Amino acid sequence: MAQLIDGSAIAAKVRAEVRAGVDALQSSKGFVPGLAVVRVGEDPASRIYVNGKKKAAAEVGFQSWELHPDADITQDALVALVRQLNEDPRVHGILVQLPLPKHLDADAILAAVAPEKDVDGFHPLNAGSLMLGRPGPRACTPLGVMRLLAEVGCDPAGKKAVVVGRSNIVGKPQALLLLQRDATVTLCHSKSDLAREVPLADILVVAVGVPELIRGEWIKPGAVVIDVGMNRRADGKLVGDVAFASASERASFITPVPGGVGPMTIAMLMRNTLDAALRSGK
C-alpha cells in the first residue's frame, strides 16, 4: 500500500523556510519582498486562488497587493498596468491570474511582465531559459512536484519518468525539470498509448484534467505517483487524474487529491518571489 505524500505539510515547511528568508532579508537589507497579483474580472475560481495567495503572502511576511481591474479592461490598459508594476521598486514579483477574459491576449500580457519579476515562470525568456538549462524562475507547479519528490527521497537520476499532459503550465516544464535531474523522460498526450507508456514509469506525473484517467492496474509496482489533476465528479467529490484507490495498491508513494500538489503551487510561488527579491538586492 502506497504512502501518502502530504503536500499540505510539505508546503507549510516551504512557507516556514521562506519566512526565515524574509526575516533574514529584512534584517540584512532592510526590505521585504513585494508580490503584486492582477485579477481581471470576477471569475469565482480566480478569486479563491488569489485569496489563497494573499493569505500565504501575509504568512511569510511579504508586502502584497491585489490589483483588480474590471473584466472589460482593454488590452492596452492592462499592458500599461503591468508595465507600471514592472517599474515599481517595491514589487519584486508579478502574477497575472489566469484565465483572462476572452478579448484579452494572455500571451501578450504575460510577455509584458518583466522577466525578473515573472514569479510564475511563464515569460518566454524564462521558458526558454528552462529549455536551455539556464537559471531563471520556474513554473510553480512543476517546481512543487520536484520538491515533493525530494521530500520522499526520490532521486530522478537514472529513472524512467512519464509525464501525462503537455501544457505550457505543467507538462512541458515538468518534463524539462525531470530531464535536468537526469531522468529518462517520456511526455505523453491525448494521442499517446497510455496503457503502454504508463506501466514503464518509475515516476509518474499526471496533469490532464480528466477524472481518474489513469487506471490503477497500469501503475508499475513501486512507482512514485504525482497527481496534479483536480476534478469534480457529478456526485460532487473531488478526484484527481489517477484512480487513487487502485493506484495506491501498487505505488510506493502517491499524492492525494486534494492535499497533494495543490498546496505546493502557492508555496513555490512564495519561494520564487523571495528569490526574485534576493536577486534584485533592493
From first to last of the 282 residues of the chain, give the pLDDT tens digit: 999 999 999 999 999 999 999 999 999 999 999 999 999 999 998 999 999 999 999 999 999 999 999 999 999 999 999 999 999 999 999 999 999 999 999 999 999 999 999 999 999 999 999 999 999 999 999 999 999 999 999 999 999 999 999 999 999 999 999 999 999 999 999 999 999 999 999 999 999 999 999 999 999 999 999 999 999 988 889 999 999 999 999 999 999 999 999 999 999 999 999 999 999 998
The yes-or-no answer on residue 43 being catalytic is no
In the chain, the number of structural domains is: 2
Is 132 part of a structural domain of the chain? no
- Tell me, yes or no, whether 35 and 148 share the same domain: no
- Tell me, yes or no, whether 155 and 52 share the same domain: no
- Tell me, yes or no, whether 173 and 95 share the same domain: no
Quick one: which of 127, 220, 135, 223 has its CA closest to 175?
127
Active-site residue identified among 6, 97, 159, 172: 97
Grid coordinates representing 106?
494572455
Is 55 part of a structural domain of the chain? yes
- Tell me, yes or no, whether 163 and 210 share the same domain: yes
CATH number at residue 173: 3.40.50.720
The yes-or-no answer on residue 97 being catalytic is yes
Range of the domain at 187: 140-262
Report pLDDT for 236.
Answer: 87
Report pLDDT for 29.
Answer: 96
Strand ordering across the sheet containing 63-67:
63-67, 34-38, 93-96
- Tell me, yes or no, whether 152 and 57 share the same domain: no
- Tell me, yes or no, whether 99 and 196 share the same domain: no
Is 282 part of a structural domain of the chain? no
Is 12 part of a structural domain of the chain? no
Report pLDDT for 234.
Answer: 85
Is 276 part of a structural domain of the chain? no
- Tell me, yes or no, whether 156 and 218 share the same domain: yes
Which of 98, 114, 130 finishes a domain?
114
Is 126 part of a structural domain of the chain? no
Is 205 part of a structural domain of the chain? yes
Report pLDDT for 77.
Answer: 98
Report pLDDT for 252.
Answer: 98
- Tell me, yes or no, whether 110 and 149 share the same domain: no
Report pLDDT for 51.
Answer: 95
Burial class (CB in 10 A: 0-12, 13-18, 19+), 97: buried
- Tell me, yes or no, whether 157 and 52 share the same domain: no
The yes-or-no answer on residue 155 being catalytic is no
Active-site residue identified among 6, 117, 118, 120: 120
Question: Distance (Å, rounded) from C-alpha 121 to C-alpha 116?
Answer: 9
Question: Distance (Å, rounded) from C-alpha 278 to C-alpha 25?
Answer: 8
Report pLDDT for 276.
Answer: 98
Mapped onto helix, strand or coil, the DSSP state of residue 153 is coil
Is 280 part of a structural domain of the chain? no
Report pLDDT for 76.
Answer: 98
Grid coordinates representing 250?
501498487
